[in-house]
Amino acid sequence: MTLRRVPTLVTLGALVIAAALAGCSSPASRFYTLSPTDDAARTAAAAGAGNAPWLIELAPVDVPPQVAKAQLVVQSDATQVRVLEQERWASMPGDEIRRALSGDLTQQLGTIDVYGSPRPSGVPVYRVSVNVQR
């Protein structure tokens, strides 16, 4: 009878350890982006904008320090915000906004965003700056 109890106790001990480890695991994080995953339309628009008569330069987007973090921050009522630890941006919010705006502007206007790139001479460049207040 002692021989049968040993495997049962070992099995029970393994189950208890597995349950304890499962209880210690944190919930999975989810990541969000403002940019579409299918960039085929944007790539086609950028190819057609090679000889654009003017260019844009979308500067980095300023966001309030309260939301300039990887976690999503939501306003829960008039005076409180909540930081959602498991809900995260794929990159910093200012970068997400800039990338989405740049893609939309270049596609809709048929031009190129030259931020961080050398500018060709003789082509006008319109600088766009964005400051998010809330």
Nearest alpha-carbon partner for 43 in 118, 90, 100, 107: 107
How far, CA to CA in Å, does 66 sit from each of 80, 83, 94, 121, 129? 12, 10, 12, 40, 20
What is the model's pTM?
0.71
Over the stretch 23-69, which tens digit does the pLDDT of each residue have?
Answer: 666 778 899 999 887 655 556 555 555 678 999 999 999 999 988 99
pLDDT of residue 52: 85
Model confidence at 100, pLDDT cuts 50, 70, 90, reads very high
Rounded to an integer, the average pLDDT of 72-84 is: 90
